[in-house]
Homo-oligomer: A and B are copies of this chain.
Amino acid sequence: MKRPLILVSNDDGITAKGIRTLVEAAAELGDVLVVAPNSPQSGMGHAITIHSPLKIYASDVFPQVQGCYESSGTPADCVKLAKYYVLKGTPPDLVVSGVNHGSNTSISILYSGTMSAAIEGAIEGVPAIGFSLCDYGKDADFSHTIPYIKKVMAQVLEKGLPKGVALNVNFPKKQEQAIQGIKICRQAIARWQEVFDERQDPYGRSYLWLAGSFVNHDKGNDTDEWAIANNYVSVVPCVFDLTAHHAIATLNEGWEKIL
Cβ contact within 8 Å between B54 and A207: yes
* Closest beta carbon of chain B to A53's beta carbon, Å: 4
State A110–B155 Cα separation when bound (angstroms): 27
* Closest beta carbon of chain B to A5's beta carbon, Å: 18
Cβ contact within 8 Å between B47 and A44: yes
A144 interfacial by beta-carbon distance below 8 Å: no
Which residue on B lies nearest to A209, using beta carbons? B53
A254 interfacial by beta-carbon distance below 8 Å: yes
Cβ contact within 8 Å between B42 and A45: no
Q: Please judge, given known A-B contacts A85-B208, A259-B182, whether A191 and B248 are in contact too, CB under 8 Å.
A: no
Residue in contact with A250 in the complex, picked from B53, B162, B182, B183, CB distance below 8 Å: B162
A24 interfacial by beta-carbon distance below 8 Å: no
Interface size class of A (residues with CB under 8 A): 35 or more
Q: Interface SS of chain A: helix, strand, loop or mixed?
A: mixed
* Closest beta carbon of chain B to A218's beta carbon, Å: 10
Q: Which residues of the partner chain B approach A124 to less than 8 Å between Cβ atoms?
A: 191
Residue in contact with A55 in the complex, picked from B84, B159, B208, CB distance below 8 Å: B208
Cβ contact within 8 Å between A165 and B244: yes
* Closest beta carbon of chain B to A254's beta carbon, Å: 5
Cβ contact within 8 Å between B196 and A242: no
Q: Which residues of the partner chain B approach A212 to less than 8 Å between Cβ atoms?
A: 80, 84
Q: List 15 A-B contacts (CB under 8 A).
A: A43-B51, A45-B116, A54-B207, A54-B208, A55-B208, A84-B194, A110-B116, A155-B255, A155-B258, A162-B244, A164-B244, A185-B248, A186-B248, A238-B243, A239-B244
